[in-house]
Amino acid sequence: MANLIVNPNKRGAKINRNIYGHFSEHLGRCIYNGLFVGENSSIPNVNGMRTDVVEALKNIRVPVLRWPGGCFADEYHWKDGIGPKETRKRMVNTHWGGVVEDNSFGTHEFMELCRQIGCEPYVNGNVGSGTVQEMSEWVEYMTFDGVSPMAELRRKNGREEPWKLTYFGVGNENWGCGGNMRPEYYADLFRRYSTYVRNYGDNKVFKIACGPNAGDYSWTDKVMEIAGNYANALTLHYYTVPDDWKDKGFALGFDRAAYYRTLNKALKMEDLVSNHLAIMRRHDPEGKVGLIVDEWGTWYNVEPGTNPGFLYQQNTMRDAMVAAATLNIFNHHADGVIMANIAQMVNVLQAVVLTEGEKMLLTPTYHVFDLYKGHQDATLLDSYVETTEIGTEEAQIPNLTQSASVDENGHVLITVANLSADDSQPLSVWVRGKEQAEVSIRMLSGAMDAHNTFEEPETVKLCDFTDYTRKDGGVQLTLPACSVAAITLA
């Protein structure tokens, strides 16, 4: 029996709901066919947005959505995506599959998608191949209410009121696809470009600087030294790749060794977040600059027979375990991690939703976001769980991962995952002051490679778990192998 102890008297930071954010890029079938099918599609839609997908996303309370990329962002020229659709440029998506980009999804459509989902927009600007003027005008187009060329253009295109835009990224992966820059050069460009990202009226833009790739600590150090005073946040990108970048391993048909290797790599997020935050705090002791992990998730070889540039992969209970462990890590760092965006929302990498024509399915990862949604804007509580080391010789991991929070109604939510592929784990949960509380438990479990298909979309789904007992004020249950539980004490 392992003990999981929560101390409600020791409160941490508020868990920013944006930790449960998402990322959507003009890549493969994420935007086109996944989120957006156009008004004339036979697939039910509202103003071109798939109704089934939007409804599913509303259920997990998506708080923020990043767009248009990714690598696509530093090649995107926003004026190509406004105005009458028939006159929008048709061009090649050079980064992702060389397919035709017809620009039918642009700024207006993105803002409409966010409106329907009920989330905040996070727009990523172009530093790699765009100009200062272009970036400045995009912000003016989106947010200025007065008399100006860009505000007039927006009105001419059918939108009278400006939109509210909080989050704006100044470049993406500028150490790589965003221009192959050195940190010193990027940091100077950030200072320059961000100067012209203006606040119009009440709209205050939160300026986000391009941060490091995984463990590139010198990038964080240099960018913080040169540009830290000008930024509100710095990003971190880290993908969980089971093998190596040349041959990453597959989403399905993996063995136990690959399972534990994947989780071992996912858990490296703890060190990455801690170390980058420590460097950031050296330059910014007051913690004014937040860390945004705006690309994270598993990255496998694409599904056999699919376009290699589309990054389409299936999603199993292994991915659910990665999501559960990663989100627990972000919760524990609620004082520094102010946003995270899983890559990507639909049909790309670790997606929460997959579509095929008019069919849609929810992945195991989706259900983890559902189990964890009660953490959004709740207050982190001190918690501890007894663990044992499991896995293979090359990839040891703790068998359990957990986090806990309390919401404004005093309800305590504990999310705990049993990462073992084979062994169930008896657990005793203790929350001081909640000895008499009403308990409800929702659970996701299955074999490590269990997944949903369009033929059988409910193989992996959430269930209410009632097989627990109460003793001495604690809650006793057995977590099945490869499971995630959300335990609420009301």
Smallest separation, CB 309 to ligand AHR (Å): 11
Kindly name the residue from 25, 101, 112, 173 that is annotated as catalytic: 173
Least separation in angstroms between residue 453's CB and ligand AHR is 24
Query: How far is it, in rounded angstroms, from Cα 202 to Cα 285?
Result: 28
Does residue 140 have an active-site annotation?
no
Distance separating alpha carbons of residues 282 and 234, to the nearest angstrom? 14
Residue 173 appears among annotated catalytic residues: yes
Question: Nearer to ligand AHR by C-beta: 245 or 409?
Answer: 245
- Give the binding site for ligand AHR (CB under 6 A): 25, 69-71, 172-173, 295, 343-344, 349
Bridge partners of residue 5, in order along the sequence: 384, 430
Which of residues 140 and 173 has its CB atom nearest to ligand AHR in the complex? 173
Residue 100 pairs in a beta bridge with 92
Nearer to ligand AHR, 343 or 406 (CB): 343
CB of 31 to ligand AHR, least distance (A): 13
Closest separation between CB of residue 231 and ligand AHR, Å? 18
Half-sphere exposure in the Cβ direction for 463 (13 Å, CA): 11
- Which of 45, 174 has the CB closer to ligand AHR? 174
Q: Which two tokens stand for residue 2?
A: 């392992």
Of the pair 112, 173, the CB lying nearest ligand AHR is at 173
Q: Which is nearer to ligand AHR, 33 or 420 (CB)?
A: 33
Q: Which of 109, 137, 140, 295 is catalytic?
A: 295
CB nearer to ligand AHR: pick between 205 and 343: 343
CB of 254 to ligand AHR, least distance (A): 21
Q: Pull the structure tokens for residue 76.
A: 């995107």
> Please, what is the minimum distance in Å from the beta carbon of residue 343 to ligand AHR?
4
Please name the amino acid found at residue 347: N
Q: Which 3-state string (H, E, C) describes the chain? A: CEEEEEEEEEEEEECCHHHHEEECCCCCCCCECCCECCCCCCCCEECCEEHHHHHHHHHCCCCEEEECCCHHHHHCCHHHHCCCHHHCCCEECCCCCCCEECCCCCHHHHHHHHHHHCCEEEEEECCCCCCHHHHHHHHHHHHCCCCCHHHHHHHHCCCCCCCCCCEEEECCCCCCCCCCCCHHHHHHHHHHHHHCCCCCCCCCCEEEECCCECCCHHHHHHHHHHHHHHCCEEEEEEEECCCCCCCCCCCCCCCHHHHHHHHHHHCCHHHHHHHHHHHHHHHCCCCCCEEEEEEEEECCCCCCCCCHHHCCCCCEHHHHHHHHHHHHHHHHCCCCEEEEEEECCECCCCCCEEEECCEEEECHHHHHHHHHHHHCCCEEEEEEECCCEEECCCCEEECEEEEEEECCCCCEEEEEEECCCCCCEEEEEEECCCCCCCEEEEEEECCCCCECCCCCCCCCCCEECCCCEEECCEEEEEECCCEEEEEEEC
CB 486 within 8 A of CB 323: no
Nearer to ligand AHR, 163 or 186 (CB): 186
Residues classed as catalytic: 173, 295
